[in-house]
Structures are given as C-alpha cells and as structure tokens.
C-alpha cells in the first residue's frame, strides 16, 4: 500500500520538508540540505550546507551570491536520480528560466512532483517543461485567475519593434527581470530579426554572460552606461536598452534620451499596474503558466491530488474542484510570484 504524500511531506515555515530524505525544497532560510528548483531569489537562498540542483541553477546561485554561497553543490542533471535518505530525487525541466527544474520525489510507492515556477509556452533560452506523471502534483498559481491569459510572445515584442519604427528618435528602455526575462526578451528580439546592438544596464551583464556561456546566443550586447553628469546619452536614441524593473522609473533612466518606458511582465495584463509604474509600453510577457496552462497541465498529468503552493490558489482550487479534482492550498509564504513585480533588481 503506497504511503500517502501528506504522511511524508511536511509544510513548514521554511517551505516543504521531507524528513525521510533529510531535506527541504526551496527553503526560505539556510538548511543543511536543500533541493533548489531554480535560481530566482525567492526560491534559491544563499547559505545552505548542501544544494541539490541542476548544474545551471548552481552556476546561477554562484554568480549571484558568490562562489562560497553554497557549502557543497550536488549537481543533478535532468534524468539522473539521487537517493537522499530513503527518498529518491530527480529533476525535470520546468521551462521557467535557464536551469529551472521540477523536483520528482519518490517514496514508498508514491510519486510527488513539485513544479517550482513553470510555464508551457516555448522559451528559446531554456529547456521546455517536461510532463512527469505523478500521484501528487504540487503547482504554483501565480497567474491562477481566468483574467490571466498571456498573449503570443511575438505579438508583444512586435509592439516594441513597431514603437521603434514609429519613434526612431526615442530610446526604448525595457524593464525585465535580471534572471530569465532579460535574456528571453533579447533572444526573442533576435529571432524576430532585430540584429542591432542591444544595450544593457550594468546589473544584467553577469547573468547575460552566464546565459551566453550556456550556449544562448544574445547577439551584440553593449553596456548602457549613463552619459556624463546629468546629460542624456544621445547615441542611445532609437536604441533598445534592457534594465531591471526597478531601474526604469529611476534617476538612471532619466539620463536616457526621451525614453519610451516598457516593462515585460505578466502583470502588464493589468492596466492599472502599468499606469502605476509609469509604463508607456506594457509588454505582457511572463515566465509563469497562465490560467489555461495551469489547468491544461493538471489535465495532462492527471494526478490523484493537486497541491497549490503560492499565488492565486483559491480560484485554481475552485476550478479544479469543479472538474472533479482533489486540490488543496499549501499556503506557502514568501514566494514572490512574478519576478519583476517586486522591487528586486537582482
Ligand atoms: Zn521563478
């Protein structure tokens, strides 16, 4: 008789804890042994004794936190399985950012898949989400409301290219989270044929270098260092500048010549949010599953139970219950959801 998942996975203030394996999943504070789904700051914290993650996620953590931020690294490639205590742990691509993975946990005949953050639409900068059949699927619900249906990526970035054509004298500054979104925006622009140099805020350089080191071709990138004291950099007219979301409304952005302020985020679906942030050109571009993707993923996996970690869990649970599915909220706290909405510039 398989052991029910709620008998061997605990919800704690630090996050999910698996006592039989001696590890936490995406813990909020330093622990002896952590399985980390991906490098975003709300999932990957520095200071763990040992980290089990994909090689890319470990590289991201070291790039962001320093080479000594992890005591011991145990890189686990997708498809490999490691035994932690008496629990078997594997990783499967989550399609969220470079190196992002779902954790596949097997114990006493029950398989639990923890999605971490994920999306289903193609992303040219990371491996696609791999559906793994399981008994319990633990899903995020950042955009778990029917209003959130992300438009086609090419259409959104087409708006940016259109604006560049209409306003050739204006600098176009695009707010994009430093890990994942920035590189995806650049790569998608390249795929749409935009081959001019793209200018980077200094905070994005290191992670763009890391993506390049992992084979993601970002084309020619140049630093967007500000002009001499208070003067706009005239050579940035008609150019694309990518900057962290926190920088686009900052003094830094005022040095850009007559900027069109854009922001690439799933939250740009909500017009008030765009207005509140002074965004002239909202680009609805998310690295999270939208409402349809959340529901379709559950249908595809057909698990016995769904647990929802963070986001708009009530609506998703209600919708799943309406489809005859057993679903419950874990009410995990401390996961920010869509990156770029927070003031995080890292
Ligand atoms: Zn994330």
* Single pTM value for the model: 0.93
CA 10 to CA 172: how far, in whole Å? 47
- Whether residue 291 sits in one domain with residue 319: yes
Mean pLDDT of 302-313: 90
Let me know if residue 85 belongs to a domain: yes
For residue 339 the two structure tokens come to: 């990156």
- Percentage of the residues of the chain whose pLDDT score is greater than 70: 94
Mean pLDDT of 212-239: 85
For residue 324 the two structure tokens come to: 């005859």
Residue 343: the pLDDT is 35
Residue 158: is its pLDDT beyond 90?
A: yes
How far is CA 335 from its chain centroid?
11
Residue 196: the pLDDT is 97
Residue 48: the pLDDT is 97
If pLDDT is split at 50, 70 and 90, which confidence band does 226 have? low
What range does the domain containing 225 cover?
Answer: 153-283
CA dist list (Å): 192 to 103, 140, 204: 33, 30, 22
Let me know if residue 342 belongs to a domain: no
- The enclosing domain of 46 has a CATH number of 3.60.15.10
If pLDDT is split at 50, 70 and 90, which confidence band does 344 have? very low
Residue 60: is its pLDDT beyond 80?
A: yes
Distance from residue 12's CA to the centre of ligand 1 (Å): 20
- Whether residue 300 sits in one domain with residue 253: no
Count up the domains in the chain and report the number.
Answer: 2
Least confident of 24-28, 130-134, 164-168, 232-236: 232-236
- The enclosing domain of 170 has a CATH number of 3.40.50
Average pLDDT, the chain: 92
Let me know if residue 63 belongs to a domain: yes
Mean pLDDT of 213-241: 86
CA dist list (Å): 108 to 90, 105, 278: 15, 10, 53
Dihedral angle sign, alpha carbons of residues 86, 91, 94, 100? positive
Distance from residue 337's CA to the centre of ligand 1 (Å): 7
For residue 209 the two structure tokens come to: 């270098």
Mean pLDDT of 147-157: 95
- Whether residue 46 sits in one domain with residue 137: yes
CA 12 to CA 145: how far, in whole Å? 26
- Whether residue 256 sits in one domain with residue 129: no
Distance from residue 321's CA to the centre of ligand 1 (Å): 26
- Whether residue 279 sits in one domain with residue 190: yes
Let me know if residue 72 belongs to a domain: yes
- The neighbourhood of ligand 1, an ion, using CB within 5 A, equals 40, 117
CA 213 to CA 263: how far, in whole Å? 26
Let me know if residue 277 belongs to a domain: yes
Let me know if residue 334 belongs to a domain: no
Let me know if residue 344 belongs to a domain: no
- Whether residue 39 sits in one domain with residue 137: yes
Distance from residue 40's CA to the centre of ligand 1 (Å): 5
56 in helix, strand or coil?
A: helix
Mean pLDDT of 316-326: 95
If pLDDT is split at 50, 70 and 90, which confidence band does 345 have? very low
Starting at the edge strand that comes first in sequence, how are the strands of the sheet with 281-283 ordered?
221-223, 198-200, 240-243, 172-175, 260-264, 281-283
């Amino acid at each position: 008789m398989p052991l029910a998942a709620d008998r061997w996975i605990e919800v704690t203030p630090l996050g999910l804890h698996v006592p039989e394996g001696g590890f936490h999943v995406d813990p909020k504070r330093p622990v002896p042994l952590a399985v980390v789904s991906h490098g975003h700051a709300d999932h990957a914290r520095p200071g763990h004794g040992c980290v089990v993650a994909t090689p890319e996620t470990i590289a991201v953590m070291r790039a962001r936190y320093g080479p000594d931020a992890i005591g011991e690294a145990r890189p686990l490639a997708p498809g490999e399985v490691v035994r932690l205590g008496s629990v078997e742990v594997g990783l499967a691509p989550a399609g969220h950012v470079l190196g992002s993975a779902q954790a596949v946990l097997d114990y006493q005949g029950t398989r639990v898949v923890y999605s971490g953050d994920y999306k289903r639409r193609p992303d040219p900068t990371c491996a696609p989400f791999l559906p793994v059949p399981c008994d319990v699927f633990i899903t995020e619900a950042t955009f778990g409301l029917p209003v959130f249906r992300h438009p086609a990526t090419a259409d959104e970035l087409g708006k940016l290219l259109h604006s560049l054509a209409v306003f050739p004298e204006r600098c176009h500054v695009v707010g994009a989270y430093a890990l994942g979104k920035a590189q995806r925006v650049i790569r998608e622009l390249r795929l749409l044929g935009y081959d001019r140099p793209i200018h980077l805020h200094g905070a994005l350089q290191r992670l763009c270098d890391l993506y390049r080191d992992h084979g993601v071709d970002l084309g020619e990138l140049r630093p967007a260092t500000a002009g001499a004291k208070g003067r706009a950099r005239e050579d940035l007219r008609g150019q694309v500048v990518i900057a962290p979301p926190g920088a686009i409304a900052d003094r830094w952005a005022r040095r850009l010549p007559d900027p069109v302020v854009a922001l690439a985020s799933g939250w740009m679906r909500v017009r008030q949010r765009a207005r509140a942030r002074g965004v002239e050109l909202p680009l609805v571009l998310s690295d999270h599953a939208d409402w349809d993707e959340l529901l379709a993923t559950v249908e595809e996996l057909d698990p016995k139970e769904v647990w929802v970690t963070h986001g708009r869990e009530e609506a998703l649970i209600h919708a799943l219950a309406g489809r005859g599915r057993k679903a419950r909220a874990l009410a995990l706290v401390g996961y920010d959801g869509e990156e770029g909405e927070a003031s995080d510039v890292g």
